[in-house]
């Protein structure tokens, strides 16, 4: 970008709340939004790091709301919680957070899991394969969370890691292998879950290879936020078919 063009257009802002131990969300969000010259992300963090979770069956809602309030000072067009925990503990937690964030800030709000699940149901993609970096215990809870939400889990692959920061260090080749193995079971869709899992850049190539819809929890969050803001997602088609296609409500 030419420096003279930086402030040439009226900006649109996407406010993103992300876990504190996450090094993937900002990189993927910035990379996707390069396709939108007047759309800029604003980031705020909430405490999620290490191996332990003081709220295993819920969210640290007060902390997440505090992050949203700080973002609201800049008056973004939309707010996004780009975390995937709701897939395990139940998407009702995401809906409750969104309701409170909207009430307190007056800003339209979504989450990566709300955007993903709404899309899957709208398109009738109910047989899913789940790929993640998690250990067996967490992965089992994630699979159960999807079954409780009405999805059929036909395959899963996981990496057996526990520490949040380690999720971001998984090699692209290893992620691609897990995704291809999951896709071999012919699900309606492959889901790469965990917003500190660097899978978004792997998805487009394998999706094109297999013809199976694939959705990454980070990039689908950005897609959902753009949609909520009324922004055409087609310029980011390189990040997967979901950006290129028109998905009506």
pLDDT level of residue 246 (50, 70, 90 thresholds) = low
Q: List, for residues 131-144, the tens digit of each pLDDT value.
A: 999 999 999 999 99
> Is the model's pLDDT at 166 over the cut of 60?
yes
pTM of the predicted structure, to 2 decimals: 0.94
> Is the model's pLDDT at 249 over the cut of 50?
no
CA-angle at 227, arms to 224 and 229, nearest 5°: 110
Do residues 44 and 71 touch, judged by C-beta distance below 8 A?
yes
Domains of the chain: 3-112+218-244 (3.40.50.1860), 116-216 (3.40.50.1860)
Q: What's the whole-number mean pLDDT along residues 36-46? A: 95
CA-angle at 22, arms to 118 and 212, nearest 5°: 40
Q: List, for residues 95-122, the tens digit of each pLDDT value.
A: 999 999 999 999 999 999 999 999 999 9
> Is the model's pLDDT at 49 over the cut of 60?
no
> Is the model's pLDDT at 192 over the cut of 60?
yes
Cα separations in angstroms, 13 against 10, 82, 90, 96: 10, 15, 28, 23
Cα separations in angstroms, 64 against 19, 73, 122: 9, 15, 28
Mean per-residue pLDDT over the chain, rounded:
92
């Amino acid at each position: 970008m030419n420096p003279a063009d930086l402030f040439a257009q009226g900006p649109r802002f996407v406010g993103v709340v992300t876990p504190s131990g996450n090094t993937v969300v900002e990189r993927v969000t910035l990379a996707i939004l390069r396709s939108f010259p007047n759309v800029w992300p604003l980031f705020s963090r909430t405490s999620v790091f290490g191996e332990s979770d003081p709220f295993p069956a819920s969210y640290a809602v007060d902390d997440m709301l505090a992050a949203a309030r700080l973002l609201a000072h800049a008056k973004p067009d939309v707010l996004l919680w780009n975390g995937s925990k709701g897939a395990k503990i139940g998407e009702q937690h995401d809906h409750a957070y969104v309701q409170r964030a909207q009430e307190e800030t007056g800003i339209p709000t979504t989450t990566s899991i709300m955007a993903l699940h709404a899309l899957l149901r709208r398109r009738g993609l109910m047989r899913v394969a789940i790929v993640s970096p998690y250990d067996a215990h967490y992965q089992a809870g994630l699979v159960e969370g999807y079954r409780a939400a009405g999805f059929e889990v036909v395959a899963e692959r996981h990496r057996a890691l526990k520490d949040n920061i380690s999720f971001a260090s998984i090699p692209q080749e290893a992620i691609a292998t897990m995704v291809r193995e999951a896709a071999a079971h012919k699900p309606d869709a492959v889901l790469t879950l965990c917003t500190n899992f660097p899978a978004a850049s792997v998805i487009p190539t394998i999706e094109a290879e297999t013809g199976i819809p694939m959705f990454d929890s980070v990039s689908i969050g950005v897609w959902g936020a753009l949609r909520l803001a009324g922004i055409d997602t087609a310029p980011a088609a390189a990040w997967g078919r979901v950006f290129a296609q028109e998905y009506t409500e």
